[in-house]
Amino acid sequence: MSKKAIWSGRILSALVVAFLGLDAITHIIQPESAVKATEQIGFPVSALAPLGIIQLLCLVLYLVPRTAILGAVLWTGYLGGAVATLVHVGAPAGQLAFPLVFAIALWGSLALRDGRVRQLARWMTVSPSAA
């Protein structure tokens, strides 16, 4: 892997982590905008802090190289739940793109900086006749 690719992965990871970390903190400190948005989608406000804590735990796992893949898997589940919730409440397509883009960026940045993910991606693309 080239140094440019590794650094690109680190920079993209930093951007993703900054946004997801800010989102987690927002859930924990519960500004009025977060409370209103939570009520609009039909979730109880009491769910905000536990969701924020789950996000922070996923973030820590993602940031530790040894557990980064587990963190990415857990984030993917969390972001998939966000997509499902947005579909359920009839959110516009533009809002659905947000968690999807972050899930793609999360895995893309990890693939750029972690050889295990690249190896897994290669294994998944091997045709049955080549195996």
Burial classification of residue 102, based on how many CB atoms lie within 10 Å of its CB (0-12 exposed, 13-18 middle, 19 or more buried): buried
Rounded-to-integer distance, Cα 24 and Cα 30, Å: 10
CA distance 65 to 70: 10
Query: What's the predicted TM-score (pTM) here?
Result: 0.85
Show pLDDT as tens, one digit a residue, over the chain (131 residues): 788 888 898 999 999 999 999 999 999 999 999 999 999 888 999 999 999 999 999 999 999 999 999 999 999 999 999 999 999 999 998 999 999 999 999 999 999 888 888 887 776 665 555 55
Give the domain ranges of the chain: 3-125
CB distance 52 to 21 below 8 Å: no
Residue with tokens 């927002």: 26
Task: Give dist(CA 123, CA 118) in Å, integer.
Answer: 9
